[in-house]
Amino acid sequence: MCIVIWPDWPWPSPPPPAPAPADHLVCWPAAFPLGMPRIDPKVFCCALYLYPSTEAAATGEKAGGSGFVGRDPSTADPKNVFYPYAVTNRHVIEDARATVVRLNTAADDFDILDIDPRLWVKHPNGDDVAACALKLADTHKVSFVSTRLFLTKEQATTWVGVGDDVFTVGRFKNLEERNQKNRPVARFGNIAMMPGDAIRQQTGHAQVSYLIECHSMSGLSGSPVFVDVGSAGGPVIQFLGVVWGHVPDAQPVSKGGEEHPEGWVVKGNSGMMGVVPAWMLRELLDEPRFRDVRQEGDALLAKEKGVGGLEATPSRLRAP
């Protein structure tokens, strides 16, 4: 077997597809940095928590899921104006009925947004993503996952692959205290399988997914996942997709080497996290209910050169 080493490529462009024959092993240059770079603290500010009621959000009940704040730049003024969205999983909205958003504030507290469940839009093909237009105030301490960071289906085939470093930020219910502000944690892993055949979720939906060697636990559903697509020149972080949960494991119950006669099993966590690809969230945000609002807002912005409030009008770009 021959070993083919990728030569250095112009920064920051990813490598082209491997031209190696089937019996060659393709390796990366040894000069590449190992491991995930330190996470910018501002990344944690994109995370939001979802609860089934305002009371649950106020008291910090261990219920609901995670989400994040996304934004789509205005075509009329992309440097200064954007449309903000709350993003999570479809099953967090439909099954857990967690439609109430909790965000941190600049005053080191939290704010609760009681969003009408009817305002949440789900992917038309049943994929496990949901979003709604988000009303933000200057008091909210948030950062944004821009659609400019979304990996397209085409980019995913050449920019990322099995073994690439990823991380996610979201809830860790095990350490949450009541009345506590949002304190998301980071989890780290690697791409174990690229999207291909759909994975059957517990809901029955066949979800096209990345598989990530990283534990996902209750409460992390809806979290954003980022991947480092950089080379030796330094990290370049892109948005990979949305956590939908873990792939379960089932081990048979046995005694003395014999399995239980009724076929009992012990369910567990396989250590594999399922992630909805970023391009499926892009498809959702391009649904008419969102697209028409952006077009209307951009038309008003271009005509009046002003900026307004929620949903039908864009928001000003500001620092978290």
pLDDT band at 316 (very low <50, low <70, confident <90, very high): low
In a domain, 65, yes or no: yes
Mean pLDDT value of segment 176-202: 87
pLDDT at 204: 83
Lowest mean pLDDT among 3-17, 77-91, 123-137: 3-17
pLDDT at 180: 79
The domain tally of the chain equals: 1
In a domain, 110, yes or no: yes
Burial (CB count <10 Å: 0-12, 13-18, 19+), residue 184: buried
pLDDT at 227: 94
In a domain, 128, yes or no: yes
pLDDT at 35: 65
Q: Token pair of 294, please?
A: 């952006």
* Mean pLDDT over the full length of the chain: 82
Helix (H, G, I), strand (E, B) or coil at 5: strand
Asked if 128 and 201 touch (Cβ cutoff 8 Å), the reply is yes
State how far the Cα of 11 lies from the Cα of 84, in Å rounded to an integer. 31
Mean pLDDT value of segment 15-21: 48
pLDDT in tens, 62-104: 889 999 999 999 998 888 889 999 999 999 999 889 999 999 9
pLDDT at 65: 93
State how far the Cα of 294 lies from the Cα of 290, in Å rounded to an integer. 6
pLDDT at 318: 44
Q: What is the pTM of this model?
A: 0.80
CATH number reported for the structural domain that contains residue 109 in this entry: 2.40.10.10
What letters, b where the CB count within 10 A reaches 16 and e where it falls short, cover 115-139? beeeebbbbeeebbbbbbbbebeee
Region at 92 (left for phi over 0; alpha for psi -120 to 50; beta for the rest): alpha
Q: Which domain holds residue 220?
A: 42-306
In a domain, 311, yes or no: no
Mean pLDDT value of segment 151-163: 92
288-304 helix and 278-285 helix, angle to the nearest 10 degrees:
60
pLDDT in tens, 234-271: 678 999 999 988 776 556 677 777 776 766 756 655 57
